Amino acid sequence: MHMKPKQPLVISLSLTAVALAAVLAWSLEPAATSLSLGVIESLIELPPGLPRSSLILLAFIGGIALTITLIVRPMRNAYQEREQQLKNKQKQLEALNDKLHRQATSDGLLGIANRREFERVLKLEWRRAARERQPLSLLLIDVDNFKVFNDTYGHLEGDECLRHIASTLKEAAARPGDLVARYGGEEMAILLPRTELEGATHMAQRIHDLLAERACAFPASPVANHVTVSIGVTSMLPVRHANAHTLIKQADEGLYAAKANGRNRTEVVSRIRLIASMDDAHRKLSHRA
């Protein structure tokens, strides 16, 4: 008998024989073979899209009860199933990788970038700004009198207050490429690539306006009856005598000035003053040499 199936088959054959009488010296191979071939021949006529077929046959041959379980499925479907399993596994691994990446780069409480991610992106953006000769701006934001808020309302309310501010910052810095990060404690940062000082200052004012509009009540505050922030703003074009930490230093100077001048305000540190002093120092060193 010659069969020409349209597609290869994967066949699983299970034989269980139980003696019902004295075992006779009969050859079961011809009977089993013809029986199997008959089943296979009939299965080959089934529609090619059939995913799986199973037959259980019971035959009595020479006093032997022979149970035959035959499972036939097209190899193409087996390959498709395996391919789908691999695709599903790949999706699971990608989802797990995304989750691990978020955990490694995000602040668990606020849902914004953590300090490590901020510093990584700052270095990348500084190098990009140097190549493209584009400005890079930074806002450092500190919650005014946050210790008083925590002592008055408790740490759970304090956490909710920080989440409220982080959400406000994300709304203000919504452009692709803008990075909102937790810098430490109640301090947060916003990194603004390709943004000049005027644009960064405008964003700082928008943050003050949004916090006033969506006031988080804080009657115990010596500044206002709602939660406020102090902001230090700076902007730089990367130069030979500066690095990414120069940007942080300038923004921190602005933040310190905002706190010293009454809080709930923005102070700007101009890059020109610092760069000029660096150039002067460089010229003096060159002259001595």
Sequence ranges of the domains in the chain? 1-105, 111-288
Point out the residues of the chain with pLDDT beneath 50: 1, 3, 5-47, 50-56, 272-289
| Angstrom distance (rounded) from CA 205 to CA 208 | 5
Quick one: tokens of 120?
Answer: 């990584």
| Residue 131 confidence (pLDDT) | 93
Homologous superfamily of the 111-288 domain (CATH): Reverse transcriptase/Diguanylate cyclase domain (3.30.70.270)
What is the predicted pLDDT for the residue at 60? 54
The pLDDT score that the predictor gives to residue 40 is 45
Would you state the pLDDT for residue 11? Answer: 43
The long-range contacts involving 165-170, CB below 8 angstroms and separated by at least 24 positions, are 165/141, 165/211, 165/216, 165/227, 165/229, 166/110, 166/111, 166/112, 168/207, 168/210, 168/211, 168/214, 169/112, 169/141, 169/207, 170/112
Catalytic residues: 186
